[in-house]
A = this chain, B = another copy of it.
Amino acid sequence: MTDNEVFSRNKVLTIDTMNPTVKKVEYAVRGPIVQRAVQIEKELREGVKKPFTEVIKANIGDAHAMGQQPITFFRQVLALCSYPELLNDNIFPEDAKNRARHILQACGGSSMGAYSASQGIDCVRQDVARYIERRDGGVPCDPDNVYLTTGASDGIVTMLKLLVCGEGASRTGVMISIPQYPLYSAALAELGAVQVNYYLNEEKCWSMDLSELERSLAEARKHCNPKAICIINPGNPTGQVQSRQCIEDVIRFAAKERLFLMADEVYQDNVYAEGCQFHSFKKVLFELGPQYSNTVELASFHSTSKCYMGECGFRGGYMEVINMDPEVKAQLTKLVSVRLCPPVPGQALMDLVVNSPQPGEPSYTTFMKERTATLSLLAEKAKLTEEILNTVPGITCNPVQGAMYSFPNISLPKKAIKEAKALGQAPDMFYCMKMLEETGICLVPGSGFGQKDGTYHFRMTILPPTDKLKILLAKVKEFHQKFTQQYS
């Protein structure tokens, strides 16, 4: 090769030579709308004139970014763990100090700076196990089945990775709800697995229909090997809370059809609607008796990112695996060891979530006050969102029973649909992009989550502070009316 050839060479890594499965990945929650929102924010700072003065982001379940305050106790303990010298001062209550000591004694060299065991710190896994037992009314939990993770995302991707194999018609299929949280579709695309869609029933408040599960599975069996079913409960983006009956149906279905169950339960404390209650898949599984509880394979996921904590940045989480083949478990343990360990501050935080202040401890009252205040406020905002959206002609919104999102159905004029298609855009992407440009409101189009053909939605978090949420809802209303008029 001459020097000139060296100089003018093309790149080694190009869009044509790169990993093709990565190219197939889509991730709407941080997609083009959000990138444009960031740009607009920059333009505003630079003095560009807009019909609004700030961007309101309702695109992601990021509670602290929307002004929610952290739980005081958790942060005190984290400060103590970060700088243990503070244990010698009298700034923090005794229970905070005790928790910090409990965590630190379990860290190598009593430092959060040591790698932990790859599966997570022993005592944290034990605390998680006791939490699960309390939550599930005494159903036993073996800490050996608990894996701490880097957020729930990490656990979900790891489990999918274990499950996937095969080529052509024997490629692994994984059933996911539509609408879905796009981590699932992204991970399946990256792993080269087949995404098998089952549709939630919008008419019945986004519940699961057994007949739809059966349809979806029968269809899939024609071209792949369906091995697992994922459920998100409470639901993202749809905000429903599944009934006990629904969960039972899914478990029986998984048992009958030999599917590995993956239960994404990161919103387990986020239940607002009257008559709704969180039922863990594990608890229901055990209530169905040993023929189920001894056989059905289940992985369930939790996170520090949601509920009343909203501590997304710490990337804490855990998964519990039940009835997993011991050889596979050994493989799982090996696999997670390659990344060394989940972040220790996130593990510490997970420990605090499952081992929060108890009655009689000095921090209990404040903790309960903060927790209750956050959850009540979310419940209020869930109601407010549903109510206001349903006053808009052309918008129909199911009750936000849980989680942090509403996913209203929007009717779009034919002309708008045509114009969007001419631009090569999904119609609800066209709608959301226009809303962003005209009002500064950042939502995610339903097409980013999947929806029944010919229906359109957007996802909106209920997280902005109440006054901002009201402004946001008023603007959405106004925009929708204007948009409908413009394209009619």
Beyond known contacts A79-B80, A153-B340: 13 more, CB 8 A cutoff: A11-B328, A13-B260, A13-B328, A14-B328, A62-B108, A65-B109, A66-B109, A78-B82, A86-B91, A89-B91, A113-B309, A113-B310, A153-B339
How far is it, in angstroms, between the C-alpha of A83 and the C-alpha of B27 when the chains are bound? 33
- Kindly state whether residue A471 has any CB partner on chain B within 8 Å: no
CB-defined contacts of A314 to chain B, threshold 8 Å: 112-113, 343-345
Cβ of A48 under 8 Å from chain B: no
Known A-B contacts A6-B255, A13-B297, A343-B315; A67 and B151 likewise in contact (beta carbons under 8 Å): no
Bound Cα distance from A11 to B322, whole angstroms:
11
Interface residues of A in 86-116 (CB under 8 A from B): 86, 89, 91, 107-109, 111-116
User: Is A17 on the interface with B (CB-CB < 8 A)?
Assistant: yes
Q: Are B109 and A22 in contact (CB under 8 A)?
A: no
Asked if A11 and B323 sit within 8 Å, CB to CB, the answer is yes
Bound CA–CA A260/B14 (angstroms): 11
Q: How far is the CA of A338 from the CA of B183 in the complex (A)?
A: 6
Let me know if A76 is at the binding interface, CB within 8 A: yes
Give the shortest distance, in Å, between A29 (CB) and chain B (any CB): 8
A327 and B75 contacting across the interface, CB-CB below 8 Å:
no
Contact B70 A113 (CB under 8 A): yes
Q: Which residues of B contact A412 (CB under 8 A)?
A: none
- Contact A115–B60 (Cβ < 8 Å): yes
* A312 beta carbon closer than 8 Å to chain B: yes
Q: Residue A341 at the B interface, CB < 8 A?
A: yes
Do the beta carbons of A312 and B6 come within 8 Å of each other?
A: no
B153–A115 CB distance below 8 A: no
- In the assembled complex, the CB of A467 is this many whole angstroms from the nearest CB of chain B, namely 16
Complexed CA–CA distance, A344 and B13 (Å): 30
Distance in angstroms from A444 CB to nearest chain B CB is: 13
The answer to whether B113 and A151 touch across the interface, beta carbons within 8 angstroms, is no
The answer, among B14, B70, B112, B334, for a CB contact under 8 Å with A313, is: B112
A107 CA / B157 CA spacing, docked (Å): 26
Question: Which of A158-166, A195-203, A272-280, A372-380 touches B?
Answer: A158-166
Chain B proximity of A25: nearest CB distance (Å)? 6
CB contacts (< 8 Å) of A6 on chain B: these are: 255-256, 291, 295
A311: which B residues are within 8 A, CB to CB? Answer: 113
A460 beta carbon closer than 8 Å to chain B: no
Min CB distance, A431 to chain B, in Å?
Answer: 22
Which residues in B have their C-beta under 8 angstroms from that of A260? 12-13
Residue A64 is within 8 A (CB to CB) of chain B in the complex: yes
* Count of chain copies: 2
B118 touches A297 (CB 8 A): no
Check B108–A65 contact: CB distance below 8 A: yes
Tell me whether A18 and B162 are in contact (CB under 8 A). Answer: yes
Give the total of A residues in contact with B, Cβ under 8 Å: 101
A241 within 8 A of B: no
A326 to chain B, nearest CB (A): 9
Task: Report whether B334 and A27 are in contact in the complex, using a CB–CB cutoff of 8 Å.
Answer: yes
Complexed CA–CA distance, A89 and B83 (Å): 15
Closest to A92 in B: B83
Residue of B nearest to A185 (CB): B338
Output the least CB separation between A359 and chain B (Å).
24
The distance in angstroms between the C-alpha atoms of A153 and B68, with both chains bound, is 32
Report 29 cross-chain contacts, Cβ distance below 8 Å, ordered by A residue.
A1-B256, A3-B291, A7-B291, A11-B325, A12-B228, A12-B258, A13-B324, A14-B325, A15-B325, A15-B328, A18-B162, A18-B328, A19-B163, A27-B334, A30-B337, A68-B109, A78-B83, A86-B91, A91-B91, A112-B314, A115-B313, A150-B339, A151-B339, A153-B338, A153-B340, A187-B338, A190-B338, A313-B343, A314-B344
Bound together, the chains give a CA A82 to CA B103 distance in angstroms of 16
Which residue of B is nearest A3, CB measured?
Answer: B291
Q: Which residues of B contact A443 (CB under 8 A)?
A: none
8 Å CB contacts to B: which residues of A408-443? none
CA distance A86 to B150 in the complex (A): 27
- Chain A 318-338: CB-based contact to B (< 8 A → 1; otherwise 0): 000001110110010011011
- Say yes or no: B13 contacts A114, CB within 8 Å: no
**B346:A62 contact, CB within 8 angstroms:** no
For residue A136, which residues in chain B have a CB less than 8 angstroms away from its CB?
none
